[in-house]
Structure 1
């Protein structure tokens, strides 16, 4: 799996197997998103627009937007609202920007719709007032300059009119001469100058003056919270954490070096895989309180539950595994069954294997169970037990751990006959099966007296009936 490309089937398998943890991760993500909404959610928002008076350039409009968010406007707003906040506290709740048509749009945010509406309207009012004050102060100097220029033009017009009158009087005294023609030419020139002065005066008088911004209308009462809402943030957090959890599981699976395929296990052990047997998943044990009991008491009580009259689901797999073992080791089967301490799936498979061996007649079978450490495997010496069989759950051991177990068997003088791989299987309502566990200290003897099966013991002492 480490060398495979991640496929949708792999993701589906992860979701099917890990859905409880993925659900928990999604819940944590939703809680994180809900917590983040306290900082990221703007609450309720509403807007209002103001019309700027007179023609203005783009940079002047940007300056007006900055003026709407100035400290003076916000301080006046905070004082009028009387919310026990300062203008500095309102900076994050107010925004002003230039929109098309020379409009200033002011947006206010608050935790309730009414407060958002009041904040927006108050900021717009204070901005219009402050802009009008600045406009009145800055218009004094231009107004005086305009009046002075108008007076100069009027004086110029009066002087020109006097000159025209003098020229007219001089031209009417004599006959038409060269001088008279020149006088009349000068007269026309003066008249043109007069017309230009009058036109310039008209332009100055018609020049528009700036006016204070005008609020187009009051802010509307918001009907819902602005995006991102707490529910949106919670959903986004759940989705983000779920995706991250899936990718984390994918990375764990792809980096997992534990062996699952029978061919890989056989190659690591240097011995064949005798068979693959189904084992009821420990999580499917129906009694909740039984799972909460201490392990030794729980295992002992579960082992002593009465067996049903017929075969349990999966018994043919165990019988076929025993038949292959007898074919390889002879009819008198005497084996040391090895299972690691942390492999609960293997423990259950060992118990099922012992029960299946006890049901067979005519074949003496002796199985001695040894629980070993996967990191430091050490096997006991038994002169009457020639062979060793490893029972392990699929995907429980790495290749190096299996090599170590095989080496421990060789060091102890056992003939390593192979391995039995236990696979988890679900039990449906139509196929009920009791849990079969192996107690480290208490062993139930087999039902068939002619076919003794020796139970599991951590101290490797023999128990059971001959």
Structure 2
């Protein structure tokens, strides 16, 4: 390679002399980009916002983002959508989530059409809210009837049972019946107070109320890279490669090194070669005086 610095004059000379070739390569690059856009159909991305009320630390928000894109959420969303030809792994690749200002998580879904992208993001947001509520209640099984609602239902049935026992007691004013009804009322009061204290002391109650902030807006444009971007990128890539190739060829040292190359440059036949030793110095007579 030559050590000469490549100047703008060299680039301009290449552009002038090779403009036809460069134009052809630009067209070829544009066609290649168009072919890539045909192989990969356009995609659309819609985003749904989920509000997390209360005070949240940064690491907790990051955890919620991981939960929103987990297989437990995305796979259940895929079951609800029932799209044929879309596997669970492909669906997970189409879903992403990120945190925004104000304890908001934006869940984005990418699909082949604006309608499917909107449905995907909305369904994942709904499943995320449901799954977060199950985690806050201490259960991740969707079929398990546990949690605050089940506990309230159990308390309701217990209160009804206490009422039935109080009515079944001796309606008279005997000492035993009065004591029985009194104990049952104390039990009812104690149960209600315990339930109230449990709800007040449970920190999950302040964090389970995730809210989906409305349906995702339907996208109006394609997600990058779009077809014009691929066409322009292919044309620019081929143009840059062509210029770099010409500059590399211009910097190559063109000194002839082999006998056939020398003969071809001189347009004559090769008559013979002479071996010159490279480790011996030419013998020179020793001179004397000022001239030496």
For Structure 1 versus Structure 2, the TM-score category normalised by the shorter chain is 0.5 to 0.7
Q: Judging by fraction of residues, say which structure has more helix.
A: 2
Residue 48 (structure 1) aligns with = 48
Distance 1:100 1:57 in 2: 12
Measured in 1, the distance between the counterparts of 2:38 and 2:111 equals 12
Partner of 2:264: 401
Q: Which moved more, 1:49-58 or 1:29-38?
A: 29-38
Answering whether residue 119 of structure 2 is matched by residue 111 of structure 1, we say: no
Deviation of residue 225 (structure 1)? Answer: 1.0
* CA distance in structure 1 between the aligned counterparts of 2:65 and 2:41, rounded to whole angstroms: 24
Is residue 243 of structure 2 the alignment partner of residue 246 of structure 1? Answer: yes
Supply the distance in 2 between the matched residues of 1:112 and 1:12 (Cα, whole angstroms): 45
When residues 234 and 8 of structure 1 are mapped into structure 2, their CA distance, relative to the original with a 3 A threshold, is same
SS of the aligned residue for 1:104 comes to strand
Partner of 1:214: 211
Cα pair 2:46 2:216 within 8 Å, conserved: yes
Q: CA deviation at 1:115?
A: 1.3
Residue 16 of structure 1, CA deviation? 2.2
Residue 33 of structure 1 aligns with which residue?
Answer: 33
Aligned to 1:232: 229
Matches within 5 A, 1:223-372: 223-255=220-252, 257=254
Say if 2:120 is the partner of 1:122: no
Partner of 1:13: 13
- Deviations along 1:369-404, one digit per CA (max 9) or x if unpaired, are xxxxxx97xxxxxxxxxxxxxxxxxxxxx6553346
RMSD across aligned positions (CA):
3.5
Distance 2:202 2:134 in 1: 21
Contact 1:40 1:228 in 2 (8 A): no
Please state whether the residue corresponding to 2:59 is helix, strand or coil: helix
Paired residues of 1:62 and 1:98 also in contact (CA < 8 A): yes
Contact 2:41–2:112, Cα closer than 8 Å, also in 1: no
Using the TM superposition, give the Cα deviation of residue 111 of structure 1 relative to its aligned residue in structure 2, in angstroms.
1.6
Contact 1:77/1:87 (<8 A) preserved: no
Local SS of the residue matching 2:138: helix
**What secondary structure is seen at the aligned counterpart in 2 of 1:137?**
coil
Deviation at 1:41, TM superposition (A): 8.1
* Structure 1 residues 64 and 41, CA gap change in structure 2 (3 angstroms): farther
* Secondary structure class of the residue paired with 2:97: strand
User: Structure 1's 37 and 121: CA in aligned 2 closer, same or farther, altered over 3 A?
Assistant: same
Aligned length: 215
Relative to total residues, which structure has the larger strand share, 1 or 2?
A: 1
Highest Rg: 1 or 2?
A: 1
Alpha-carbon deviations, 1:419-462, whole Å to 9, x = none? Answer: xxxxxxxxxxxxxxxxxxxxxxxxxxxxxxxxxxxxxxxxxxxx
Q: 1:406 to 1:104 in 2, by over 3 A?
A: same
Q: Deviations over 1:204-261 (max 9, x none)?
A: 94876232310012111111112221211221221122111111012123326389xx
Structure 1 stretches of 5 or more lacking a match? 145-200, 260-374, 377-397, 409-466
Contact 2:77 2:127 in 1 (8 A): yes
| Greater RCO (CA < 8 Å, at least 6 residues apart) | 2
- 2:137 match: secondary structure: helix
Check the 8 A contact 1:25/1:241 in 2, yes or no. yes
Structure 2 unmatched runs, 5+: 140-145, 152-195, 272-292
The 1:67/1:39 distance shift into structure 2, 3 A limit, reads: farther
Q: Distance in 2 between matches of 1:219 and 1:2?
A: 59
Matched residue SS, 2:66 = helix
1:239 and 1:214 map into 2 onto residues whose CA distance is 46
Are 2:97 and 2:107, in contact at CA under 8 Å, matched by a contact in 1? yes
Are the counterparts in 1 of residues 50 and 105 from structure 2 also a CA contact under 8 Å? yes
CA distance in 2, matches of 1:4, 1:41: 47
Residue matched to 2:72: 72
Check whether the contact 2:46–2:118 (CA below 8 A) recurs between aligned residues.
yes
Q: CA deviation at 1:36?
A: 4.4
